Chain A
Amino acid sequence: MAIAARIVELGRSAEPSAEIEVLARVGASALTRFANGAIHQNVAEDVRHVSVRVALDGRPARCTLDGPPDDDAVQALLWRALEAARARTPDPDWPGLAGALPALPVDHWDAATAEAEPAARAMQVAGFVRAADGLETAGYCSTDASAVAYANTNGQQLLGRSTVAVVDGIARTGTSDGSARAASVSLGSLDGAVLGAEAARRARDAADPVDLDPGRYEVVLGPACVADVLGFLYRYGFNAQAVEERRSFVRLGERQFDDRITLRDDVTDPGQAGVAFDAEGTPKTPLTLVHAGTTVEVLYTRRTAAKARVRSTGHAPETGEEWGGLVANGVLGAGDRTADELVAGVGRGLLVTDFHYTRILDPRTEVVTGLTRNGVWLVEDGRMRRSVRNLRFTQSYVDALAPGAVVAVGADRQLVTDPDGAEPFLVPSLHLRSWNFSGGARG
């Protein structure tokens, strides 16, 4: 906090009329990557990042520094930000800075993870590789720790810290891949050997796949696929900017989803990750976006909130603000079925664990194309009959969760994140009535 507050005071002295906010992030980030059963890329870095946004007479500009925040560097950073703000054109939509409001008590932190040595990550990897029992393996183990401080000239001051550890990998037979992953605040709670064994089992189960005709099938989507679906719904749908511009599917108060769908955004959930405020110093408020199928809320930044004459929900990213509200802690309500029970409920359909290279075709309809990956299984009469080759799908993600489209929700909720820490989602598997597979991966 000291550095953020110090920069605000320096700025106030230099330009008393300026609105100034500072976001400072200090930490360590490391990722141990393996392929062909061996560690081939192993990286670590110290992180020292300072972001200063100033506004002069409604002309905002942001300057950032990745480097030591010594006095000279900080003075230069402030000077550049003030210079840029003076030179730019006015912004009539500038909403001003956040006021002083406390954030909720959130501490997704594990000291051992923050201090994890390279050997700790390498041992997770070695465990994964050994447990795959001779199958080729690939993946990564990462640890990230950051302390974040925010201060502004309105008196808002916030501190937060967060750790995240991930083990994510695949095992490969000559004809198939199988995946397993886990993410947590604590590296110590992850077990690379358990995950390696699971990936190997799935890879062997997926061996010698056959072609399946494209078409509409029931599906059971694993947590990674469900997180992908939510990612698109968040970015293009539950984003107040998209709503304001009529590019979103969202219609507040309408039953747009199956009544089995309840979606919250909640950084306070014990299974989530991250800090309790956004890049504008707005405390994150636990929100219900969808309640029993009815869309009830969207995500705001200060800019989009001002336009809608509401309060920001605390979802402003540090950069890329032209995208609107993005920073998410999605939590999809869990059901009461195990993953096996979801499969047992399928008449004739497919079990899919992973998607690959999903891209949106139209934001309004949320039609997305992508492919399956790391194992697809044909399920008939509740039994996994055999593995099939990867399929391409072209599917509206909104339609997939529409009223009547969700057969069952799993109890197997899992934190799904990526090594860059974007948008952690806490999600279960879903059994959906229909999914449009538009082609085989072989054409």
Chain B
Amino acid sequence: MFDVATAAVEAALAAGARYADARAMEQRSETMHARNGVVDRLDRGERAGVGVRALIASSWGFFAVPDLSVGAARKAGTRAADVARSSGLAPGLPTELAPEPPSVASWASACLEDPWSVSLAEKGDLLEGVTRTMLEHGADVAEAQERVWETRKWFVSSEGHRIDQHVRECGAAMNATAVGETETQRRSYPGIRGQYGTRGWELVRELDLAANAARIAEEARALLSADACPSLEATDLILGSEQMALQIHESVGHAVELDRILGWEAAFAGTSWLDLARLGSLRFGSDLMHVTADATLPGALGSFGYDDEGTPAHPVDIVRGGTWVGVLSGRDSAARIGQPSGGAVRAEAFDRIPMVRMTNVGLLPGDSSLEEMIAATDDGILMDTNRSWSIDDRRLNFQFGCEMGWEIRHGRRTRMLRNPTYTGISPRFWGSLDMLGNRSEWTFWGTPNCGKGQPQQIGHTGHPAVPARFRGVRVGVRG
């Protein structure tokens, strides 16, 4: 398959490109979904093709074709150069690429139990069984889903990169919805998006959906009669690790994407409140806040061997002791600020251009525990499991909702709360972080649905997270 990618690169160079790279890819995927005891969706997909990127003067061009023949790859290389040339009608600043020694390598994710070796009957029995259990325990609507992805890609660049990778990912999710007279309540396990990783089916077995189905159904039902989260201008807020993963993803991960900071996403995803002039000095949060982007974490959903520009995976410090120190970048964006590539450029598939994406952006653990946080809180609210998420186009003002809350009084959980929401301004919020869960609570959450770019690409990102406490947070925003 290297021949296909090489043909594409050579054709782009022959058509005038000063740099070119190509990814020949084969992907297959599976989605099985059950609703109320019946599998109502079984999809399997296969995608194969080559995507070529060509750089002419300051302008990129990209062309993709769903065909892995050498002839089609050559045509795609030529077309990519044509597209790049047309970009010169609205040229920009000179485009340089941060130096990256060409790698010749092979990498594969670890997989103990191949997800494709597990029969559809077993998968169907699992999903149908847990949805039936949820119905029996109070759910009005019960859903469960498993997903599998397998990607093989062969990357070649005009600088001499020659890398093949084999990544297997899978995971599962389930949720129970209880319908009341005026609203619905939902509980998910293990989180709103489920749990996914660069692992085999062992991940799904470890989730043990069956052991949690009855509980979440009962919780969804109980939420219908729970008290509403009070509206408070300021209270202590404890977030469980699943909600922390979302908090990190939205308010840290996207904010530190260098393409956003440089304005490349201004019209769609937005920009960032972060000012490059203050990289290395800006206070992002409290001293407890240490965030890294680490694509080397075994099994995490944002892990890989090499990014889609051939940069080896490596950890990057993003926030150290509360100070903003790093960004997510690729070769062209990093060159704009005189840094080496952060190795964070990926494409969803052969037919999408590689762009800056989160790897595993997460918090390093602290030394408390969730129970210690509760015990140390006199008056506050515990929230977990994301339900809604909205943040402004500079990644500064957010309002997030959770599935379930608990009132904390005098160091104890008291009453369950429905419709808990909280809102804040990112540096002020992160500055109020004063307790952080320990390594035993450190979970590598996987987000399989991060949308970015035009045409939109769905990215797979990882978010190591622990429970955390924040002081003086506004909660209970209502419509």
The answer to whether A246 touches B388, judged by C-beta atoms less than 8 angstroms apart, is no
The answer to whether B45 touches A371, judged by C-beta atoms less than 8 angstroms apart, is no
Q: Does B280 contact A (CB under 8 A)?
A: no
Question: Do A67 and B263 form a contact, CB below 8 Å, given A363-B184, A369-B388?
Answer: no
Instruction: Name the contact of B141 in the complex, choosing from A64, A68, A118, A247 (C-beta under 8 A).
Output: A247
Cβ–Cβ < 8 Å partners of B264 in chain A:
35-36, 40-41
CA of A45 to CA of B392, assembled, Å? 32
Q: Does A210 contact B (CB under 8 A)?
A: no
Question: Do A322 and B92 form a contact, CB below 8 Å, given A89-B125, A392-B397?
Answer: no
Q: Does A411 contact B (CB under 8 A)?
A: no
Cβ–Cβ < 8 Å partners of B263 in chain A:
35-36, 136, 138
Query: Chain B's nearest CB lies how many Å from the CB of A62?
Result: 5
Question: Do A67 and B393 form a contact, CB below 8 Å, given A34-B90, A361-B388?
Answer: no
Q: Does A122 contact B (CB under 8 A)?
A: yes
Cβ–Cβ < 8 Å partners of A64 in chain B:
43-46
Cβ–Cβ < 8 Å partners of A35 in chain B:
263-267
The answer to whether B86 touches A67, judged by C-beta atoms less than 8 angstroms apart, is no
CA of A440 to CA of B474, assembled, Å? 13
Instruction: Name the contact of A44 in the complex, choosing from B79, B424, B478 (C-beta under 8 A).
Output: B79
Question: Do A41 and B62 form a contact, CB below 8 Å, given A87-B121, A89-B124?
Answer: yes
Inter-chain contact total with CB atoms closer than 8 Å: 289
Interface residues of A in 58-76 (CB under 8 A from B): 60-68
CA of A3 to CA of B453, assembled, Å? 32
Q: Does B217 contact A (CB under 8 A)?
A: no
Cβ–Cβ < 8 Å partners of B183 in chain A:
362, 364-365
The answer to whether B455 touches A419, judged by C-beta atoms less than 8 angstroms apart, is yes
Question: Do A66 and B66 form a contact, CB below 8 Å, given A40-B92, A88-B120, A369-B399?
Answer: yes
Cβ–Cβ < 8 Å partners of B424 in chain A:
443
Q: Which of B10-18, B33-41, B104-112 contacts A (4 or more CB under 8 A)?
A: B33-41
Cβ–Cβ < 8 Å partners of B61 in chain A:
42-43, 118
CA of A138 to CA of B48, assembled, Å? 32
Q: Which residue of A lies closest to B40 (CB)?
A: A322
Cβ–Cβ < 8 Å partners of B353 in chain A:
41, 43
Q: Does B84 contact A (CB under 8 A)?
A: yes
Query: Chain A's nearest CB lies how many Å from the CB of B11?
Result: 15
The answer to whether B47 touches A66, judged by C-beta atoms less than 8 angstroms apart, is yes
The answer to whether B92 touches A91, judged by C-beta atoms less than 8 angstroms apart, is no
For chain A, the bracket of interface size reads 35 or more
Q: Does B83 contact A (CB under 8 A)?
A: yes
The answer to whether A140 touches B454, judged by C-beta atoms less than 8 angstroms apart, is yes
CA of A80 to CA of B182, assembled, Å? 45
For chain B, the bracket of interface size reads 35 or more
Cβ–Cβ < 8 Å partners of A67 in chain B:
46-49, 66-68
The answer to whether A45 touches B64, judged by C-beta atoms less than 8 angstroms apart, is yes
Cβ–Cβ < 8 Å partners of B90 in chain A:
34, 37-39, 122, 125-126, 129
The answer to whether A441 touches B397, judged by C-beta atoms less than 8 angstroms apart, is yes
Query: Chain B's nearest CB lies how many Å from the CB of A321?
Result: 5
The answer to whether B83 touches A118, judged by C-beta atoms less than 8 angstroms apart, is yes
Instruction: Name the contact of B89 in the complex, choosing from A46, A119, A360, A394 (C-beta under 8 A).
Output: A119
**Cβ proximity bits A164-204 to B, threshold 8 Å, 1 near / 0 not:** 00001110100001010000000000000000000000000
The answer to whether B89 touches A122, judged by C-beta atoms less than 8 angstroms apart, is yes
Q: Does B58 contact A (CB under 8 A)?
A: yes
Question: Do A140 and B477 form a contact, CB below 8 Å, given A42-B87, A441-B392?
Answer: no
CA of A88 to CA of B127, assembled, Å? 12
Q: Which residue of A lies closest to B421 (CB)?
A: A361
Instruction: Name the contact of B83 in the complex, choosing from A40, A42, A357, A373 (C-beta under 8 A).
Output: A42
Interface residues of A in 217-270 (CB under 8 A from B): 245-247
Query: Chain A's nearest CB lies how many Å from the CB of B350?
Result: 9
Question: Do A369 and B390 form a contact, CB below 8 Å, given A62-B43, A68-B66, A395-B479?
Answer: yes
Q: Does B384 contact A (CB under 8 A)?
A: no
Instruction: Name the contact of A39 in the complex, choosing from B41, B59, B119, B262 (C-beta under 8 A).
Output: B59
Q: Does B412 contact A (CB under 8 A)?
A: no
CA of A36 to CA of B262, assembled, Å? 9
Q: Does A117 contact B (CB under 8 A)?
A: yes
The answer to whether B47 touches A396, judged by C-beta atoms less than 8 angstroms apart, is no
Q: Which residue of A lies closest to B62 (CB)?
A: A43
The answer to whether A38 touches B58, judged by C-beta atoms less than 8 angstroms apart, is yes
Question: Do A31 and B455 form a contact, CB below 8 Å, given A361-B479, A392-B397, A439-B397?
Answer: yes
Q: Does A152 contact B (CB under 8 A)?
A: no
Cβ–Cβ < 8 Å partners of B392 in chain A:
356-357, 371, 373, 390, 392, 441
Q: Does B242 contact A (CB under 8 A)?
A: no
Cβ–Cβ < 8 Å partners of A441 in chain B:
392, 396-397
Cβ–Cβ < 8 Å partners of A48 in chain B:
66-67
Question: Do A93 and B44 form a contact, CB below 8 Å, given A34-B90, A43-B62?
Answer: no
A-B contact pairs, 11 of them (CB 8 A): A31-B454, A33-B454, A62-B41, A84-B42, A84-B44, A303-B40, A320-B41, A322-B145, A369-B479, A373-B393, A419-B456
* Chain B contacts to A: CB under 8 angstroms: 31-33, 35, 38-49, 51, 58-69, 79, 82-93, 119-121, 124-125, 128, 140-141, 143, 145, 177, 179-180, 182-184, 262-268, 270, 351-353, 355, 387-393, 396-397, 399, 401, 419, 421, 423-425, 428, 453-456, 477-479
